[in-house]
Structures are given as structure tokens and as C-alpha cells.
Structure 1
Amino acid sequence: MGLLDFLFGRNTQQSDLKTNTKSDDDRVKEQNAQKSDNTIEPFVFKSNCHQRYENGLPKMGLQECFRTVCVEKNIDGCKGYKLEPGIGYIVKVFNDDLGKPNMSDKPMKVVRKTENSVELRGFPIEAVSPFGWQEVDYSVYGFIVYYEHGKVSKCVLHMYDRNTFIEYRYVDKTPLMTANINSSISECEQFAQQAQNAANIGNTSRAHQYGMKVYDSIIREPIQLRKVSDIQSVALALGKLMEGDYFSDNDSIKKAVGLSYYFLSKAIAGGNDNPYLYAYRFSVTWEYNKVFYHLFAHSENKQLINSLYNPIEQSMLMAYDHHLQGMQMADMLVEPRIANLDPALGNIFNEIYTRYSSTPSEQIIKLGKEYHAQIFEYLDKKIKALDFDF
């Protein structure tokens, strides 16, 4: 295992699909050998909505219905499986609307643990079937638990063989505060501070809702940006907002991406060392790379027309993609705590870094900062002119 694998927790124990059967003794030995010191505290999470994703895209819209998601210790094995007591955990999803399980119980083991998440993964095991005991490879199932200040904020069930996952969330529906119009603090800052307060107590839903109010406030009254002083709170609120899929039209996506990136970069340039600033900036450049292709082009007084048959444009897109990768690698190299906050970003970094492993880190950081500066300077001019047509 290399240094990067050690730092960013790459899982090198991938299970191969087995077609042969094993004796019970062999299976027990294998399961015992795979025991990990990593643990997860059993919990019950009440979800009131969930979103399904296929190939990275949301499908069927947000489903507002009740599910009970829980992780239990394996104390007595698991019904329907040949599983020794004490091996791993049992992941369950219960359909509260129908009063029955939403899926069969899944035995899993902890494969990675960071300060804000725990990842579990299924493994090869024998399961009962109409034809007797059959070996199935449950490594195609994964389950990631995300925490905010020690509280479960959401759970994500992955079906890797189908490139599909389901996010189980909880949306707080209690009324939000209104802004104090007599305050010396701008409206968007007031909402941003409420977003931070919510995030600090683990209420991700409320943090997202206040983040949306920050965005709506800026769009409705852009002139207030000229007196914003709490840059970090606005940056973190918008960065947190961009974790979700709250925008569907291209115009809103471009504005939200531009504003969140601008404030995150401004907070970082101001000397703030909060690792979430870097994590959110890394994430927004990764999730919304097509927006950044256009930002790069506009910063160079060029236009992209998204033509598959234009060799000049394809060359531009390739160049901008390299620029983005440089920005992402630079952020991770400067602030490696990103990988502990979001292990998925650590994995992305590993994949990118292998392509440039012969390039000195100092050179990557230098170029990455130059590309960040190019985008920031373009956005800075636009935002100071209160022009959000990015």
C-alpha cells in the first residue's frame, strides 16, 4: 500500500466473485480473518424522504415517505444466511408506510471510518434459496453513514453493480426564522449564520434550507453583497447547499455554482483554514465540471457551443479538464483533511493523482492556484458589477 492509499483510505480488499462452494470451516476461517478493528455504533435513523440516483443522476424525484434505517450488531447471526455471530453488522431498511422491510437484511462489515463517515460493505456469503444454500457476493452492496457533529445526517445505500444509490434523508419541516430588517447585518449573512448554527448541531436539513435562503436572498437583492463581512459563513452555507440537488434549470445551476465557488475561494484567500472550505470547493469543481468549462472559456473571452464535431472546441474542453484536475489536486495537497471529511473525494483525488504522479507536488499546487485565480478574477469582476450572468 502506497503513501496515498494510506492517507486517503483506498480499499484494496476488493472481493472477487466466487463460483465454487466452500466448507463451513473454510467460511468461518475466512470470516474471522476479515474481522476489522473498525466499529460503528448501532443506530436507528428515521428518514422522511429519499432520492434515488442512477449513473449519478437523480431519478423519479424526491420521494417524501417514511423509512427506518438501522445498523445493528451481529449478535446471533442473521436469518437466511450462514453467518457466525460476531461477524460484522446487519443493515436494515424498513418501509414504515407499508409496515414491512424495504429490502432483505444485509450483513456488512466496516471497511473505512473517518471522522465524519463510516462505510460498510457486503461480502461473499451463503444465503438460503429455493434451491438450498447458494453463495452470493454481497460486495456489490455498500452503505455509507454520514455524521454531522456526532449525529447521523444521512445514509446512502449503494448498489455498485447497477451504478445506483439511494440517499435516505431527514428534512426538518419546522418554520425557518425571518431576517431582521433593522439589523446592521445583511439578510444573506443572517441566514448564513443560521445555516452554520444548524450544521454545528448536526441538523443538515436545516443547514440546507438556510443555505437556499442565502442563495435566494443574494439573487433577489444582489446589492447587499457590497457590505457582506462574514465571508466564511456565506461560503460555508452555499458550499453546504451545493451538496444537494436543489437546482434543475441551467441558469440557476450556473449562478449557484459561480456564487458558491466565489465565496469559498474568497474565504480561502482571506486566510481561513477551515477544511470544509476546501472540501466544498473541491466538490463543486468535481460535481459541476461542465459549468467550469464555460467559466474558463468566458474568462478567456471565448464561447463553447458544445459541438462534438468541432476539433478546436474539443481541444479547449480537454485543456479545461486538465485545468480542473490541477485545481482539485492542488486543494487536496494543500488541505489533505478533505479526505477525512469526505472519503469519496479522497478516492477521486487518488484516481486523478495516478495520472500525474510523476509531476512534483509543488508544481501541481502552483498550477492549480493559477487556474483558481483565473476563475476567481473573472467571477470577482462580474459579481462586483452585480452581474450574475456567468
Structure 2
Amino acid sequence: ADQTVSYTYDEVGNKLTETKGGQTTSYTYDKSGNVTAITYPDGTSVSYTLDAMGNILSMLDALGRETTYEYSPAGRLIATTNALGHKTSMIYDANGNQNSLTDAAGYTATTTYTGQNQIASITDGLDNTTTTSYNQMEQPKEIVDALGGKTTYVYNELGYPIEQTDANGHVTKMSYTETAQLKEVTLPDGTTLTQEYDALDRLIKQTSSSGLITEYTYDAANRVLTKKDNQELNESYTYDKAGNRLTLTNSLGEVTTYSYDSDNQLTKVTYADGTSESFTYDVMGYVASSTDQEGKTKTYHYDENGNLTKIVDHLKRETTYTYDALNRVVTETDAEGNRSTYEYDVLGNLSKMTDANGHSSSYGYDANKNLVLYTDPNGQATAFTYDPLGRV
């Protein structure tokens, strides 16, 4: 649905307010015209401090949790520190390319570049290196993975990839229309997919070597009106002026209808059998309530950062959640008071989960965030090892 949006500005043209549907977002600026605070319709706000170059030095979220940023003299971001004090740092070469990134756990990944500033190699925190070489058109010609496996690419005279050979020698081939649309793909097993387009380069037909044929039609706004194949699929769609889908008619002629509010948020789905689901939203656009096909309603509550803190079902039973400074769930308590807790490592991986009975499971990870050790509530440990490609 269409909705009027109004704005106000200061004397130098900075946008001060934006009002939509009676809800106003306001902006505050420094003398240089940089945004220093945003206040949302629900009264929450985020604020920023900036240096003389306009770089953000710190950000306070709606709960007052601070993230800080550091920059080089050239204005490149060299470090971020999150609300828990975990720091990530970056180093750059003379051309401004990021050479290394060291995460909060101390693992460093490095990147090298060609003379044209294209990535030549990437080495992860476990010293696994992937290299890339390029053709004269600066397109990837060969990628060598950490195990020495090579993937190669061949291009046509227009620069489109027409052949890819993976590390196992499997070849995929592609061809194109005169307008550079993908016309045919031949997979390593010999299966093919061909595609046809209309004068506007819209996909109108797909034919698989398996015999499946799928066809599409469009409206003047390039939205799919019908989709059907040579088996059982036969669907049609209608839309409103904003592009929201209003109806879906399936192969049996059954119609599902959709309704929206003035912010184009889905408010109701009505099915062919007459049942429906409905939704309401708060001023921030979060789902405030949902009613299922049986008429049972749930309400949803959020904190200032938009984290879901409480769900109340149709029987007034509550499930509650709490979060850490990085907006990660740390406790979940159901209507019976059963409480589960969650802990995380410095890289954000789930490191421990304790259920309502006090039974704990723990998790350990390597530098690439692969799970390497799992300990179940009985103390039974299972270890996992990975090859340089991250495969167990």
C-alpha cells in the first residue's frame, strides 16, 4: 500500500525528521553534518562519536552498549572492539588492501594481492592457503585449494565463463544468448538445462534433460504471473501496486489471499479452506502478535535493541529470553519456569549449553570455527578433525 512520508530539514539541508504513518524518526548532527544520534519512533536511540575525518569512533546502542573503532592516519579501519571488550584488528598494504585480520581469539588470517590489487592468496588461521591466478582480462583462471586441488576456468571472447573444471576433473559447461543470458548448462554427469527468454530478457522457459519443462509469464512490472510445468505445477499470482503478492492460485484452483498494512507488512493470510493467519506490528515493525488458523493468539515483546524478550501464548503462558551485551540469547525460561542457559566464546561460537535440569553440553572450536570437541551432559567427549578444506 502507498503511504505518505514527510520530512523536515535544518537550514543546511540535513534531514531532521522522517514521519511515516504518524511515526517519526529524528536525526541529530555535528557541525560537520555527520549523524551523531538517531531516535526511533519507540523512543529508543543510537548515538555516535566521530573524529575530524568523519570516521565513527564509537557507537552506543539503544541499551547503552558501546562498540569502538580505530583508524590509521589514512582513515582505514584498523580495529574494532565490541561491547564485551573483544578486539579485532586489521593491517593494510600500501594500496589499501587488507593484508591481515586478527580476531578476538588471536587467530590471524592473511591475504596477498597481485599488482592489479586482486586477491592472490588467502591463508586462514590454521595456515591453510588458497591461491588464485588470473588471465589477461583479470578474471580468475586457476584456483588452487589448500590440498593442491585445482579449479580452472575458461571464458569466451566476451568474458563470460564457458567451462569450469573442478579439482576432481569434473567439467561444467555454459553457453549464452546474444544478450548474455545463460542459455545452457551442461553438468559433469551430462545432464543439461536450457533456458529461453522473451524480448525483455525475462526467463520464459526452462527445459531439463530429464524431460521437465517449466514456463513463466510476466506482467508489465516484470512480476511472475504464471508458473507451470509439464507435470502437475500450474500456479498464478496477482499483486498490488506496491508489488506485494495478493493472491496465489495453485494447480487445483485453490486460492490463497494476502493482506498488508500501509507499511507493506503482511497482516493476514487467508487459505482456500477459509482459515487464516493474522499479524500485527509495533511501531518499529516487529511482530507484536500473531493469530494462527485455530484462532490462537501469541504476543511478542522486545527490548530496546529489538531482541525478543517474551512470548505470551493464548493461555497467557510466558516464555522469556535474556541477552548479553552482543545481543545473544543467554537464558531461555519457559512457562513452567524451566530455564536453559547459553555461553559463548570470544568468537561468538556457542561454547556451553545448560538445560533446565542442570545438564550441560560443551563445544570447542578451531580457528576456522569448526567444531573440534563436543562433550555431552554425561561427560562423553567426541573429537572431530578436519582437512585443510574444512571437511570432517
TM-score computed with the length of structure 2 as normaliser? 0.22
Greater C-alpha Rg: 2
Q: Which has the higher contact order (CA 8 A, sep 6+)?
A: 1
TM-score computed with the length of structure 1 as normaliser? 0.22
